[in-house]
Chains A and B, each alone.
Chain A
Amino acid sequence: MNIETFSSQTLADIKVQVESPEYETGNLHSILTEIKFSLQQLLEQKKSHTIDLRAMPWSPGEERKLEKYLGKGEVRTELDALGKSIFYETSYSGIWVVTHYSEDGVIIGKSIEVTYMPEMLFSQYEEVKDSLERIKEIERIEEIK
């Protein structure tokens, strides 16, 4: 292996694997309870809620178990800004899993959003304003022609 190849390697390339027995912290139960209350809140008060999955201890495999329970629904979308972000609605409507990646594919944020639509997917006010200006500019150029 030459130095150049070696220096460009990441942990994913060298296949580091953590093998641990399956056991649980009990946090899965707490998360499900939080999701249940958040859904009630969304229905009754139209209030969205985000659960940061990196803010709590998980045993190896517990997160995978949660994702297995939630399943995958009809919508999956990808955002390309400062690296990829993947949004998908789970098989439970109103429960979204959001994963943010850095430009080299490292997870920098992972959350469950209990909402009708994740906020970040909406067009952003400042950029819509900018769009209007740009369209006006095209219109002006066309008029000159």
Chain B
Amino acid sequence: MNKQTLFELLQQQGVSRRGFLKYCTALTSLMALPASMISTVAQALESARRPSVIWLSFQECTGCAESLLRSHSPTVEGLIFDHISLDYQHTLQAAAGEAAEHAREQAMKENYGNYLVVVDGSIPLADPGYSTIAGMSNLDMLNDTVAGAAAVIAVGTCSAYGGLPHAAPNPTGAVSVSSLIKDKPVINVPGCPPIPTVITGVLAHYLTFGSIPELDRLGRPKVFYGQSIHDRCYRRPFYDKGLFAETFDDEGAKKGWCLYRLGCKGPMTYNACATLKWNQQTSWPVESGHGCLGCSEPDFWDAGSFYKALSIPDGDYARAAGYAVASGVVLGAAAGFANQKTKSAAVSQHTKVSVDDFSLNQKDTNK
């Protein structure tokens, strides 16, 4: 743990008190905390020390790291990265081979009990040879590194749930971090990739409060994964009125109607895309006209076609829509629950995508 506080570091860089408050304002918003918490965040950061972070990449595509590192620095994400001590990340660090591994071991030794471990990628158990670093199996490196960690952040769906490597038939025996690490707090930050501001929001929370945020049943921070895409979707009023796009180029699609019947997985997906958005807050999949794929949920690769509509619990949609606004959230939640079951069935059968899934006539899929 670096001895300098964040405030001291910012001062050294010539950042004024107002600049520091601005930084705290952006962080508070990033952590989805109410604006009344800005002064609390400022007080906490004045005395916060830079945490050491060791980033391990296992069976992954580097998309999660790209999501974060390509996020238009110097934004808040850039600032956060400036204010942690990233002591090991084998894709980014200049050192290679033994020097790189030495950096990891040294960071562990110097910060034992206090450093954070970020993991992207799943861990193969079928044969350690599927993925090794410096001759060490991913499992050995994970266990070795996590031993002295304060907490582990599993970034991306692969490390949170196994992700694409875990998809049936799972040839490498890929598993998630949380299925292996039971004696340390594990924070899951799923998504394929996760929203960069969510990754940094979790780091910022630890940086600010020295603790992990409140988690849901799947180990995800509730501030970012507490509500479904569906419940926060700006197209939700159309769902409530029963107005759906039936194809990607029909009149409903042009008018921005709900994409539910085109396979949107919003009702069963918990993530913050609808509010945080992507690419400098330009847009997000639903705003760009494509349904949510459900990438922050376990086994989304095996959950059937991305273009197959979910079912809703009550077939008499017109009647349900009559209670639209008042019952909207309940209906959405019920639909989400019903479709969790459908998804489980699809996972067990490993439903494959066929050309029929891209059919322009999706009317029957809702029955």
Q: Which residues of A contact B (CB under 8 A)?
A: 10-11, 16, 18, 20-21, 23-26, 50-52, 54-60, 62, 79, 81-83, 85, 100, 102-104, 106-109, 111, 119-120, 124, 126-127
Contacts and interface: CB of A to CB of B under 8 A. Distances in A.
A13 to B, nearest CB: 12
Interface in B275-300: 275-276, 279-283, 287-288
A10 B79 CA distance: 18
Given A11-B280, A124-B17, 19 more contacts: A18-B282, A23-B238, A25-B237, A52-B34, A56-B275, A60-B287, A79-B22, A100-B22, A100-B26, A102-B76, A102-B78, A104-B72, A106-B72, A109-B22, A111-B25, A111-B35, A120-B21, A124-B21, A127-B17
28 contacts: A10-B280, A16-B279, A18-B282, A18-B283, A18-B287, A18-B288, A20-B256, A21-B254, A50-B35, A50-B36, A54-B276, A54-B281, A55-B32, A57-B232, A57-B234, A57-B275, A81-B22, A100-B22, A102-B76, A102-B78, A104-B72, A108-B26, A109-B22, A111-B35, A120-B22, A120-B25, A124-B17, A124-B21
B275 A126 contact: no
B236 interface: yes
B15 A81 contact: yes
Given A21-B256, A55-B32, A82 B236 contact: no
Contacts of A83: 22
B262 interface: no
Contacts of B35: 50-52, 111
Contacts of B282: 11, 16, 18
Contacts, number: 107
Contacts of A79: 18, 22
B76 A108 contact: yes
Given A11-B280, A18-B288, A85-B22, A108 B75 contact: yes
B233 interface: yes
B255 interface: yes
Classify chain B's interface size.
35 or more
B38 to A, nearest CB: 8
A60 B232 CA distance: 14
Please indicate which of the listed interface residues A21, A82, A109, A120 has the most CB atoms of chain B within 10 Å of its own CB. Answer: A82
Given A16-B279, A120-B22, A103 B74 contact: yes
A51 B23 CA distance: 17
B274 interface: yes
A87 to B, nearest CB: 11
A100 B23 CA distance: 9
The majority secondary structure among interface residues of chain A is loop
A16 B234 CA distance: 20
B274 A57 contact: yes
A121 to B, nearest CB: 8
Interface of B: 15-19, 21-23, 25-26, 29, 32, 34-36, 38, 72-76, 78-79, 232-234, 236-238, 254-256, 274-276, 279-283, 287-288
B194 to A, nearest CB: 17
B29 A54 contact: yes
A109 to B, nearest CB: 5
Contacts of A20: 256, 287
B124 to A, nearest CB: 35
Given A24-B237, A57-B233, A102-B76, A52 B29 contact: yes
Nearest to B39: A119
A102 B23 CA distance: 10
A23 B235 CA distance: 8
Contacts of A18: 282-283, 287-288
Contacts of A11: 72, 279-280, 282
B8 to A, nearest CB: 13
B16 A58 contact: no
Top 7 A-B pairs, shortest CB-CB distance? A81-B19, A50-B35, A124-B17, A59-B234, A82-B19, A108-B26, A21-B256
A126 B8 CA distance: 13
A65 to B, nearest CB: 13
Contact of A23 (B73, B79, B237): B237
A104 B256 contact: no
A18 B255 CA distance: 14
A81 B18 contact: yes
Contacts of B15: 81-82
